[in-house]
Amino acid sequence: MIDLGKQNVLGLGINAIDYEAAGDRVITAAIDRQAMSVTALAVHGVMTGVADREHRYRLNQFDLVCPDGQPVRGALNLLHRCGLDDRVYGPNLTLYLCQAAAEKGLPVFLFGATDEMLSQFSDQLCGRFPELQIAGKRASRFRTLTTHERDELADEIKSSGARLCFVGLGCPRQEVFAYEMQAHLPMPLIAVGAAFAFHAGVLSQAPPWMQRHGLEWFYRLTRAPGRLWKRYLTTNPAFLTRLSLQKMGLLHRKRDTGQPPSQEILFG
């Protein structure tokens, strides 16, 4: 089990952690009914925080920020000599937590995506983990929620009996949701992004060898070039440039807490 705490990567606190330690922290919070905000960031997620001071503040308030992408894991090793052998990939973390939740009798709630995807995702999880209890699921409205709608949703999740809530809204909306809802739900909120689509069978995952070598971004680019070309061909070089400057001591010498958000923008 590896848990070296949060380390500075481009001004963000990223946990140098493995699956076992991350899972242990989340499940402990679920058992204790403690609020907890969790996410797994790849390069795009990190750079979203770098570019937006308010979002950087949100991410730096998270209890657990896992290194989802191989480049993020590599950054932890390069900058801080963490010696991590593997990343903590959101879709795999989802399965790890669902297995633990099934074994310990902790019901889960699924929030995000569409009704059809949620149904497929739920079926796949229950097929893989027959003892898993799906306490409830709610599709996204794909818009900003009112305060009343936020409170209704929080009541629905709490009254379901869930002890963990998985959030699949895409980056950065899911992190905004977890940050803002943490005060309203006594359970871990785990932002896992594409895990919903991957495990529902809607989106294909890169082959294991591409994942191991940090080429998942290229696989996804080939599947949706029109939507993703700008993201990867601008954010990846920017990440590497800033990483080099931090290594030389020219940028991001300390974790920047950013700027507290001026208002809630809860997307649900």
pLDDT in tens, 222-232: 666 666 556 66
Residue 126 lies in a domain: yes
Alpha helices in the chain (DSSP H): 19-31, 43-51, 53-60, 70-80, 90-104, 115-128, 147-159, 173-181, 195-200, 208-212, 216-223, 225-247
Share of the chain above pLDDT 70, in %: 89
The dihedrals phi and psi of 178, each to the nearest 5 degrees, come to -65, -40
User: Is residue 251 domain-resident?
Assistant: no
CATH number at residue 70: 3.40.50
Nearest one of 14, 12, 64 to 188, comparing CA atoms: 64
Class of residue 227 by CB neighbours under 10 A (exposed 0-12, middle 13-18, buried 19+): exposed
pLDDT at position 205: 66
For the segment 227-241, the average pLDDT, to the nearest whole number, is 78
Tell me the C-alpha distance between 178 and 147, whole Å.
15
* Domain assignment of residue 232, yes or no: no
Residue 122 to residue 196: CA distance in whole angstroms:
9
Tell me the pLDDT of the chain averaged across its residues: 90
Residue 242 resides in a domain = no
Q: Which amino acid is at 111?
A: F
Distance in angstroms (rounded) separating the CA atoms of residues 113 and 244: 36
Distance CA(196)–CA(193), nearest Å, equals 7
Q: Which residue has the higher pLDDT, 23 or 212?
A: 23
Report whether pLDDT(12) > 80.
Answer: yes
At 41, which helix (H) or strand (E)? Answer: strand 36-41
**Token pair 């937006």: residue:** 52
Question: How much is the pLDDT for 233?
Answer: 74
Into how many domains does the chain fold?
1
Above pLDDT 90, what percent of the chain? 71
For residue 206, tell me if it sits in a domain. no
Lowest mean pLDDT among 45-49, 67-71, 93-97, 210-214: 210-214
Indicate if the pLDDT at residue 60 is higher than 90: yes
Does residue 12 form part of some domain? Answer: yes
How does pLDDT run across 68-100, given as a tens digit for each residue?
989 999 999 999 999 999 999 999 999 999 999
Write out the two tokens for 97: 């937590």
Give a yes or no: residue 184 inside a domain.
yes
- Ranking 36-45, 80-89, 167-176, 208-217 by mean pLDDT, the lowest is 208-217
| Domain limits for position 178 | 3-192
Whether residue 65 contacts residue 39, with contact meaning beta carbons closer than 8 Å, is answered with: yes
Give the model confidence (pLDDT) of 245-260 as tens digits: 999 999 888 887 788 8
202 in any annotated domain:
no
